[in-house]
């Protein structure tokens, strides 16, 4: 059995594979590289077969999305660790070793991520992951180095290895036995928030998630679905509500979700007033989709009851609303959030 299997999920990403796969192969010696293809129609498989014979291919019959695609692919791979890597990522020499050392040093570490910088502007952190992921008590995700659309320059202010709440799906090393024990990603999510949901379940089960600044990668971001796409808005809002319902401790779920629904409504009004009516419609659709999921989510919540009861709170969940702190109080960086938190 391989120690580390690098697994790239692909959907019509031939151009990214052509651009970035050589760096992965060059700097991941000794690790098999898999490309799991979500039934692409852009000639990705033929291209890989002709240009990258060493890459192991997994053909999926339909587009299962990120969540279902990785679930299906990883069932076909035997390795101690899975390195889940987006196709639009450039890696560099020595990127994998610090992640592996972190996992090997502590069996309680279920997943870890590197520092993520923007490929187009390497001085900046990248939106999807930056220097490690967190959420507030209402389920809004943010990162060290990125709050909403404010992205910081990397001035080595976040070069300390530490526990985080979630590791980004753009590049995360996961312990295969834990991934399977927790039933992988929720396939209904399709894409977006599934890694946050999985990390929350892992933390409730007593595991740790870490950020490793000794490793740096460069991510394009939005390669499959750009952040301006209303469908991305739909997926993020629907999946965030579902994640909250599944994982919030008893006594918090009703009130927190009610507050979140109100804030989502305000967000929809704001988008409408700025001319983004399609995103407003996407939020409405997301809410109705969430309501239609409630029978399924109740079953999921009941199945996860023991995990929630084991770990009620996590210090990596910010106890205040980052919506209020960002938009009303003007707190634009992770350090400013911590300053306010520590003063209260």
Full 3-state SS string of 118-166: ECCCCCEECCCCCCCEEEECCCCEEECCEECCEECECCCCCCCCEEECE
Coil, strand or helix at 255: helix
Instruction: Taking each helix axis as running N to C, give the angle between helix 194-204 and helix 230-247, from 0 to 180 degrees, rounded to the nearest 10.
Output: 10
Residue 2, token pair as written in the block: 């391989």
Coil, strand or helix at 238: helix
Rounded Cα–Cα distance for residues 174 and 172 (Å): 6
pLDDT, tens digit (0-9, with 9 covering 90-100), for 92-149: 899 999 999 999 999 999 999 999 999 999 999 999 999 999 999 999 999 999 999 9
Pairing of strands 150-151, 56-59: unpaired
pLDDT grade for 159, boundaries at 50, 70 and 90: very high
User: What was the pLDDT predicted at 1?
Assistant: 85
Residue with tokens 């988008």: 271
pLDDT, tens digit (0-9, with 9 covering 90-100), for 50-102: 999 999 999 999 999 999 999 999 999 999 999 999 999 999 899 999 999 99
Average model confidence (pLDDT) across the chain? 94
pLDDT, tens digit (0-9, with 9 covering 90-100), for 282-321: 999 999 999 999 999 999 999 888 776 655 578 899 999 9
Rounded Cα–Cα distance for residues 52 and 105 (Å): 33
pLDDT grade for 342, boundaries at 50, 70 and 90: low
User: What was the pLDDT predicted at 250?
Assistant: 84
- Model confidence at 344: pLDDT above 80: no
The superfamily in CATH containing domain 2-219 is Spore Coat Polysaccharide Biosynthesis Protein SpsA; Chain A (3.90.550.10)
Considering only residues 198 and 1, tell me which one the structure prediction assigns the higher pLDDT.
198
Rounded Cα–Cα distance for residues 189 and 222 (Å): 17
Rounded Cα–Cα distance for residues 218 and 313 (Å): 33
In the chain, where are the structural domains located? 2-219, 230-313
Rounded Cα–Cα distance for residues 143 and 333 (Å): 9
CB 267 within 8 A of CB 284: no
Measured in degrees and rounded to the nearest 5, phi and psi for residue 146 equal -155, 115
- Residue 227: closest CA among 276, 261, 185: 276
User: What was the pLDDT predicted at 229?
Assistant: 87
- Residue 159: closest CA among 118, 196, 199, 117: 117
Please give the helix or strand (H or E) that residue 280 lies within, else none: helix 277-303
CA quadruple 111, 115, 119, 121: dihedral sign: positive
User: What was the pLDDT predicted at 214?
Assistant: 97
Rounded Cα–Cα distance for residues 207 and 199 (Å): 9
pTM of the shown model: 0.94
């Amino acid at each position: 059995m391989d120690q580390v299997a690098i697994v790239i999920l692909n959907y019509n990403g031939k151009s990214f594979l052509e651009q970035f796969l050589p760096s992965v192969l060059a700097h991941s010696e000794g690790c098999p590289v898999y490309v799991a293809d979500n039934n692409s129609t852009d000639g990705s498989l033929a291209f890989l077969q002709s240009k990258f014979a060493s890459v192991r291919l997994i053909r999926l019959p339909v587009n299962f999305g990120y969540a279902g695609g990785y679930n299906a692919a990883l069932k076909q791979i035997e390795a101690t660790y899975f390195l889940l890597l987006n196709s639009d990522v450039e890696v560099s020499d020595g990127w994998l070793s610090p992640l592996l050392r972190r996992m090997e040093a502590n069996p309680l570490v279920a997943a870890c991520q590197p520092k993520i910088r923007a490929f187009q502007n390497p001085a900046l952190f990248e939106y999807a992951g930056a220097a490690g992921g967190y959420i507030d008590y209402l389920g809004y995700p943010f990162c060290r180095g990125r709050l909403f659309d404010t992205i910081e320059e990397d001035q080595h202010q976040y070069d300390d290895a530490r526990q985080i709440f979630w590791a980004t799906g753009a590049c995360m090393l996961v312990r295969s036995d834990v991934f399977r024990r927790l039933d992988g990603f929720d396939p209904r999510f399709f894409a977006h928030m599934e890694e946050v949901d999985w990390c929350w379940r892992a933390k409730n089960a007593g595991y740790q998630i870490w950020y490793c600044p000794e490793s740096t990668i460069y991510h394009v971001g939005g390669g499959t679905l750009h952040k301006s796409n209303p469908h991305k808005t739909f997926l993020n809002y629907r999946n965030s509500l579902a994640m909250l319902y599944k994982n919030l401790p008893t006594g918090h779920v009703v009130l927190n979700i009610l507050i979140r629904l109100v804030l989502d409504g305000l967000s929809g009004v704001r988008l409408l007033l700025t001319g983004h009516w399609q995103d407003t419609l996407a939020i409405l659709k997301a809410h109705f989709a969430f309501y239609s999921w409630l029978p399924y989510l109740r079953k999921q919540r009941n199945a996860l009851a023991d995990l929630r009861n084991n770990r009620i709170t996590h210090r990596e969940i910010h106890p205040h609303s980052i919506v209020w702190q960002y938009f009303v109080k003007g707190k634009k960086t992770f350090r400013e959030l911590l300053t306010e938190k520590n003063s209260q």
